[in-house]
Amino acid sequence: MKRLPFKSGFFDDVINLQTSFGYFSDEENERVLEEVSRVLKPRGVFVLEMANPGWILANFQARSWDETRSFFVLEERCLDWKMKRMRSRWILIDKKHRETSEMPVDTRLYDLDELEELLLKAGFEAVSAFGSAEKEEFHATKSKRTLLVAEKRLKRC
């Protein structure tokens, strides 16, 4: 993500979904957005979708269970608001093989203003914010997700 193996201006659009952003330091996360901007054509569109920290704060749960076709998933969460990070431990139980595995997850939580500022700094403009992929209106504490649609700025002389 920090060094994409594509030439500059290669893509018309780039999509980053399901909180696949925020796993690095602030500086490294900025580098990811700079790389996205680099590989996009002028006026290319970038879609960034991730968890909304305002909703997380209002609805925080230290633990939750989930079930997929193949796994039971226990997620234990610790919210470090001073560092604006959520540190989680996912415990996966394979239903078929009855094996257990663990996966740590450490994500930087960016609020809407921070994300918009980072996108502008990385060379984007015309940033639109939504509360879901259905383009619901974004609400700082009621929207579970933050979805941003940004357009790469044209180079100016």
Q: What CATH number did the domain enclosing 71 receive? A: 2.20.25
In a domain, 97, yes or no: yes
Q: Identify residue 84 by its one-letter amino acid code.
A: K
> How much is the mean pLDDT over the chain?
94
66 and 93 share one domain: yes
CB atoms within 10 A of CB 47: 16
Least confident range from 17-21, 31-35, 76-80: namely: 17-21
Q: What is the pLDDT of residues 49-81, one digit of tens each?
A: 999 999 999 999 999 999 999 999 999 999 999
64 and 52 share one domain: no
Q: What is the pLDDT of residues 117-156, one digit of tens each?
A: 999 999 999 889 999 999 999 999 999 999 999 999 987 6
CB atoms within 10 A of CB 34: 15
Torsion of CA 152, 153, 154, 156, to 10 degrees: -150
Query: E strands of the chain, at which residues?
Result: 11-16, 40-51, 63-67, 71-80, 85-94, 100-108, 124-130, 145-152
Residue with tokens 């996009």: 40
67 and 91 share one domain: yes
Q: What is the CA 59 to chain-centroid distance, rounded?
A: 18
Spatial strand order in the sheet of 124-130:
11-16, 40-51, 145-152, 124-130
In a domain, 43, yes or no: yes
* Stretch 40-53: mean pLDDT: 96
Q: What is the pLDDT of residues 121-132, one digit of tens each?
A: 999 998 899 999
42 and 66 share one domain: no
Distance of alpha carbon 82 from alpha carbon 106, whole angstroms: 14
User: What's the predicted TM-score (pTM) here?
Assistant: 0.88
Distance of alpha carbon 74 from alpha carbon 93, whole angstroms: 8
In a domain, 94, yes or no: yes
SS3 88: strand
In a domain, 37, yes or no: yes
> Does the pLDDT value for residue 40 go beyond 90?
yes
Q: In the chain, how many domains are there?
A: 2
Domain that holds residue 85: 60-107
Q: Check: CB of residue 77 under 8 Å from CB of residue 86.
A: yes
